[in-house]
Amino acid sequence: MNTLKSKNKVQTLFEQKQKDILTIYFTAGFPKLNDTPKILNGLEAAGVDIIEIGIPYSDPLADGPVIQNSSTLALNNGMTLAKLFEQLEHVTIEAPIVLMGYLNPVLQFGITKFIQRCAEVGVSGLILPDLPVEIYERDYKKQFEASNLNFIGLVTPQSSDARIAKIDRASSGFIYAVSSASTTGSNKSVGNFKDYLDKLQNLNLKNPVLTGFNIKDHNSYQNACKHCRGAIIGSAFISHLQTNGVANGSILNFVQKIKQSPS
């Protein structure tokens, strides 16, 4: 077994940085099959705090149209979990890497093998939207903890306080506040969910909260950061990659526009 490359980078980040955590999401194997390492290196060079890699899946019901389209193209390009892990073996970056995907392809790959490979290639955490917290705690928690992998739970405006507390107890790293139980990449803005995000802050959760409500530019990013520890940007970055390519300069330009006010 390979030596583990990463341990608890997410928790370390939140200990060292108190606000404005910028997470960028992209789909593995998009726009081209071998672009994943280039994008990772570009995001690292641009100073992104957390990098979230989407595992493409043929039936991504919880994703918006931009991410669904990127997932379809990535699968057509030949992206698989085995290929993704192979690519990650050859990338060394300091930023925490979080994988986001659906349970079905993970189970097909083999959950024990999947967790082992995540740890070996330096993945810090996992977001599995269709894995109920009860099943995670019963079947997988010990394996996650043994491999120092964060289980990152999702909460929605429909989640009760009791449910949020349960997800918080089971999670580590951070909690992902989404706009709906059904889709990510919602067109609803942070402003529509200000009260919801403020409520999460007032619940005194053990995990920090990141959110991703239609965050696409500096203003929406800053607005999100007023109500939680940071923001996650997915659809806007994927659209940027499709239009502008994966060169470091293109990625740096996108990240700088998010972090800084337009001149």
* pLDDT tens digit sequence for 13-57: 999 999 999 999 999 999 999 999 999 999 999 999 999 999 999
pLDDT at position 180, please?
A: 62
CA distance 9 to 158: 30
Which structural domains are found in the chain, ordered by start? Answer: 18-153+215-255 (3.20.20.70)
Task: Report pTM.
Answer: 0.92
pLDDT of 183 over the 90 cut: no
Which pLDDT band, with edges at 50, 70 and 90, does 179 fall under?
Answer: confident
Would the pLDDT of 147 be above 50? yes
Backbone angle region of 204, left / alpha / beta, with phi > 0 → left and psi within -120 to 50 → alpha: left
Percent share of the chain, pLDDT over 70: 90
User: Would you give the end-to-end CA distance of the chain in angstroms?
Assistant: 50
Pick the catalytic residue: 49, 63, 120, 168? 63
- Residue from 49, 52, 120, 168 carrying the catalytic annotation: 52
pLDDT of residue 84: 98
| Over residues 117-143, mean pLDDT | 96
154-155 and 123-127 as β-strands: parallel, antiparallel, unpaired?
Answer: unpaired
The two structure tokens encoding residue 209: 């909260």
What is the model's pLDDT at position 182?
A: 47
Question: Are 36 and 84 within 8 A, CB to CB?
Answer: yes
Q: Are 170 and 153 in contact (CB under 8 A)?
A: yes
* Closest residue by Cα to residue 96 from 213, 17, 186, 202: 17
Contact between 199 and 78 under an 8 Å Cβ cutoff? The reply is no
The more confident residue out of 127 and 189 is 127
Which pLDDT score, from 0 to 100, does residue 260 have?
A: 87
Query: Does the active-site annotation cover 35?
Result: no
* DSSP conformational letter for 81: H
pLDDT in tens, 64-123: 888 889 999 999 999 999 999 999 999 999 999 999 999 999 999 999 999 999 999 999
Q: ∠114-66-173 over CA atoms, to 5°? A: 40
Q: Is 52 a catalytic residue?
A: yes
